[in-house]
Structure 1
Amino acid sequence: MNLPPHEVSRLARAVLDRVGTVVVGKRDSLELVLAGILAGGHVLLEDLPGLGKTLTARTMAQALGIEFRRLQFTPDLLPADVTGSFLYDQRTHDFTFRPGPVFTNLLLADEINRTPPKTQAALLEAMQEKQVSVEGTTYRLAAPFHVLATANPIEHEGTYPLPEAQLDRFMLRVSFGYPSAEEELDVLNRRMVRHREEAVVEPVVDAATLLAMQESIEYVAVEESISRYVVELVGATRSDTRVLVGASPRGSLALLLLARARAVLAGRDYVVPEDVKGVAVAALSHRITLRPEMWLRRVDPETVVREVVESVPTPASGALPTYGYPTEEVPVGEARQWQ
């Protein structure tokens, strides 16, 4: 089914409202997480303990009406604990495949930086190819499939930092930060009203509707000036003197896809420069590597990306794309009729 942008926007805001009844005062961060899901990507939630990362993942899965599994990453976790393995069945006298936790719609990889690189790499194929290979056999993962991983940015003892190759698989990185005093008081009041620890929300959509919402993102129009703006932003991260390794073309794609999702959240079927600016830090900051001396100067990647966004000229075109949504289903490769 083809969902128009205003309907996708209505459903997305209903999801955010439902999640917001549990995760208090983090609307901007929740919009980024949902934009990453609508864009078909994976999200890295990097923040201090106790700020709602796990709660966000579980509540978002409940509001989206999709299957959810949580996997606690530990130093002794094996790749087979993630992907699954073959077990001997005494009744059939044969080996049968037992799927691991990765076979779900939304996988919470909790504290992903606490497991060795070999186990971290077990997620690479699943995240990029949406499949798992075990003992020479490939198993497809059912759509939708998304990974929400959490990491503690300040605790380094007993951790294994994610390599750049795996960081690049995450479409965006989101932080929540501490709540204000009023927001924290609201959290306490809601806990007392709830009379229990666990918060449960009713689903707003289901897996089929989520897939339709993701499909609608593909029809969001992007004017050429916006595409050039995306390329210039990413290119500026490579030429910045403070940066050792800039963002890759995958960063350009992530920035474009997230901008399209943000446009739909706003009820539009076309992207404006503000959409790109609004997701630039989340999409690019984890994809650049600063020169070693920058850490001594207390320069972080987020600051670099913000300054790049301020320095690159914003396109000033007044032309709006004339694209719309297809009026009928057509085979792949043929021209679509737009309205």
Structure 2
Amino acid sequence: MKKIVVLLLSAIALMAQGDLHLFSVDNKSGALTPKVIEKSFVKNGFTVTLNNDMTGPFKKQFQKSDFKIFNLMTVVEPKLADKLLRINANAGVFIPMGVGIYQANGEDTLHVSILTSEAQAKIIGIENNELLKTLEAKTIKTIKEALPNAKQTLSEDSLKESRNLVSAYEYELDDADDFDDAKEEIKMSLESNFAPKGFIVPATLDYELGVLDENADSPFDFYESYSICKLPVIYTVAKTRPEAAAFAPCTTMLYKKKGDDKIVMGFPAVYNWLSSAHVTDDAAHQELMKAQQDFEQILKDITE
């Protein structure tokens, strides 16, 4: 079985604009919680694949947390997700998509951050389309229903970024129909290399089980995604740019289109955090770049 590594190109961030929708609401009473937001997403037809409280892990690993609330939530709108994947398989880097929820110690305001449809389109490498705009509108509506008095703003203009926004690699097959062994080998290699490099996998998603309508035909032989976290990255970035939680956990895609003779793996590069969330702190920059290098090395080792 022949293997080849190919770095796929994604759109590059050349035009400055705010990439994050930011919501803020008074929460002095503490009545507004991540669970309230989760219930709103479920009510509006989303599947919540993850809603992790990070304050405990922060305290356990770093002996402190700067936040009374810091949750990483990931959500999927199955019907829209299916349509997006059929247009561009790289849309899987946002299936599921992230929702950052945070409130600092001593602060009375709860915050929520999500990516704009323009930012998602830029990262995926497609034009901002009606599906992304519909998903954006539905997500905003859901958050506003959970937080009816929230103030909504855009983040400051993104920093210019010329590097690839999706890091992706291809594993070439000799036979398009003979992929099962390669798939299992890749999954075993991924899973065995995550922990040694400090990555954890809090959730996974199978397209056929979590997205595809049971009566529909799949364009993929398989499509799976891993939600990937590296705690030092999240902890360090959150000190100066907690809104970057919209990018965490990172969704790593693994798929094969029917008829194709390749398996594709990829993830949204940390350059998105640096650009969209204005991460300029030296310690945060170092943690992000180390994570990028480590994850690229995992994929390179599998495909070379």
TM-score, with length taken from structure 1? 0.28
The structure having more radius of gyration, on CA atoms, is 1
More helix by share: 1
- Higher strand content, 1 or 2: 2
**Structure with the larger RCO, 1 or 2 (CA within 8 Å, 6+ apart):** 2
